[in-house]
Amino acid sequence: MKIFNAPQIKELDIYTLQEQKITSAQLMERAADKCATWLRNKYPIHTHFTIFCGLGNNGGDGLVIARILLAHQYKVTVYVVKHSPNTSPDFEENLALLKDSITIKTIISEKHIPPIEEHSVIIDAMFGAGINRPIEGVCKILIDQINTLNNQKVAIDIPSGLPCEVADFSKENTILKANYTLTFEAPKLTFLLPKTAHYVGNWKILSIGLSENYKQTIETQYEYIQSKDILKFTEKRASFSHKGTFGHVEMIGGSYGKMGAVVLATKASLRIGAGLATAYTPNCGMQILQTSVPEAMWTGNLPCEHFLEGNYISTHKTVGIGPGLGIHPKTQTFLHLVIKATKTPMVIDADAINILAKNKEWLNQIPKNSILTPHPKEFERLVGSFTNETEKLQKLRAFTATYQCLVVLKGAHTAIADVNGTIYFNSTGNPGMATGGSGDVLTGMIAGLLAQKYTPLQAAILGVYLHGLAGDLTIKEIGMPSLIASDLVNYIGKATLHM
């Protein structure tokens, strides 16, 4: 699913009107009806709604929502926030229609801001996706007051004051903090980023029938991954397949006291469907791996007793490296040998990333289209510090372009950046996955998919999606706080059944 910026959304609306031969007021009615339906399903008939409307089309949406809710016998109070002498034609049209049903109140200055009933649900329809400046004046005062209330708050399309794109964001800006956001057709970029997502609350995409033909022509830098997207490239197994058909993963890592990371990654590579797996660890990991993962083979390389060191000879397997590796100086040299000996895309995680951050000159030697899977701090060690989300995304693109690799930047809505500059945000996963070993499972899953001949981008997208889905399925049965990384491995199979 493509993620659009504000000008692209406007173009898409205009094209839809022409293609479907409808008026903008009719499209507004369609959008508001979807919002009102969601509200009616969410809140019982005795609910009171307080709707704050701006003077543009977002305010027009609020007016239509009010009219529909009134027709279904809900109690509704509507305030028009008069922050400008200018109004949109669709706002005026719907203001006239609503005046026949209720008395509409106007907020012109601070003294007109009303007390709000304690249990009233606040609907934010003041400013939409097109806002391009910080909120000031009476609107700022109103939003600051609303943000102090415990009332449920539902934003229409986007919380007022929050821009579509991070370039316009400043933490000093006044932004309404919503519990729910009802957005149209696709998420906004700021819904998916850590410094802005908390304004949005739980968000829901409502389809309002915008032109699918025109969507295909719009070039975007961002996409949102859903199940229908991964189904396009998921492979089915042929009847006469054998274990060699599905590749051989070599999971390199481990050090004294950190062998569990390799256990998790190796298990995950097999559970996601790799035909064979070999764990490559220091000698102290032999019994642990042979006992914990009987399906896998083990190899070491003398004199690797407690950490990996010495020579490395490529076996042309699909390499995943980093879980539990440690950063001993001899291990750093060993990693360099692995990178130089490996000619096909590899998965690089954890301490392997930390070692590269200390030896950045080695980054140019990584096989083209390799996949790095840092968490935010590891990424910062690679690219340097950044002050805001815009700079972070710029550094992410620059890194993948410079080193011709993919980066899986882990976190809520994990971001997958490809070598061409497109960033894919994931739709699965939950905070219960913020637990030790979760990233090691992801490394194994991506390596296992890469071994099965998925392209690096497909392996990254599919691995991240199924990893998150395994987490979502886990918490339905055991709850969020109880989730541990081993649960993710155990639920990989159930996640694949949902594809």
Q: 135 in a domain, yes or no? A: yes
pLDDT in tens, 55-79: 999 999 999 999 999 999 999 999 9
Mark whether 164 and 249 lie in a shared domain.
Answer: no
What confidence score (pLDDT) does residue 387 get? 87
Q: Domain range holding 391?
A: 230-497
Query: Which residues participate in the annotated binding site for K(+)?
Result: 58, 124, 160
pLDDT at 498 over 90: no
Query: Which residues participate in the annotated binding site?
Result: 57-61, 124, 128-134, 157, 160, 261, 324, 375, 410-414, 439-440
Strand order across the 75-81 sheet: 105-107, 75-81, 48-53, 121-125, 153-156, 180-184, 202-206
pLDDT at 114 over 80: yes
Query: Which residues participate in the annotated binding site for AMP?
Result: 410-414, 439
Torsion of CA 329, 330, 332, 335, to 10 degrees: -170
What confidence score (pLDDT) does residue 339 get? 98
Q: 225 in a domain, yes or no? A: no
Q: 177 in a domain, yes or no? A: yes
Most confidently modeled range among 171-175, 184-188, 229-233: 184-188
Query: Which residues participate in the annotated binding site for (6S)-NADPHX?
Result: 57-61, 128-134, 157, 261, 324, 375, 440
pLDDT in tens, 76-97: 999 999 988 899 999 999 999 9
Mark whether 81 and 104 lie in a shared domain.
Answer: yes
Q: 450 in a domain, yes or no? A: yes
Least confident of 108-122, 159-173, 429-443, 482-496: 159-173
C-alpha angle 244-250-256 in degrees, rounded to nearest 5 = 150
**Would the pTM count as exceeding 0.75?**
yes
pLDDT in tens, 1-30: 999 999 999 999 999 999 999 999 999 999
* Domain CATH number, residue 14: 3.40.50.10260
Q: 75 in a domain, yes or no? A: yes
Q: How confident is the model at residue 132 (pLDDT cuts 50, 70, 90)?
A: confident
pLDDT at 138 over 90: yes
Mark whether 168 and 251 lie in a shared domain.
Answer: no
Q: 1 in a domain, yes or no? A: no
Mean pLDDT of the chain: 96
* The domain boundary residue, chosen from 162, 196, 220: 220
Mark whether 272 and 331 lie in a shared domain.
Answer: yes
Mark whether 196 and 323 lie in a shared domain.
Answer: no
pLDDT at 169 over 80: no
How many CB atoms neighbour CB 130 within 10 A? 16
pLDDT at 168 over 80: no
Q: 442 in a domain, yes or no? A: yes
Give the chain's domain count.
Answer: 2
Mark whether 212 and 331 lie in a shared domain.
Answer: no
Mark whether 90 and 179 lie in a shared domain.
Answer: yes
Mark whether 260 and 186 lie in a shared domain.
Answer: no
pLDDT at 293 over 90: yes
* Domain CATH number, residue 383: 3.40.1190.20
Mark whether 275 and 159 lie in a shared domain.
Answer: no
**Residue 437 backbone dihedrals phi, psi, to 5 degrees:** 95, -15
Mark whether 252 and 153 lie in a shared domain.
Answer: no
Q: 63 in a domain, yes or no? A: yes
The residue-averaged pLDDT of 411-440 equals 97
**Residue 79 backbone dihedrals phi, psi, to 5 degrees:** -120, 130
Cβ neighbours for 417, distance < 8 A, ≥ 6 positions apart: 396, 397, 399, 400, 406, 407, 409, 423, 424
Mark whether 442 and 353 lie in a shared domain.
Answer: yes
Mark whether 183 and 295 lie in a shared domain.
Answer: no
* The domain boundary residue, chosen from 220, 252, 283: 220
* The domain boundary residue, chosen from 220, 252, 269: 220
Least confident of 51-55, 227-231, 446-450: 227-231
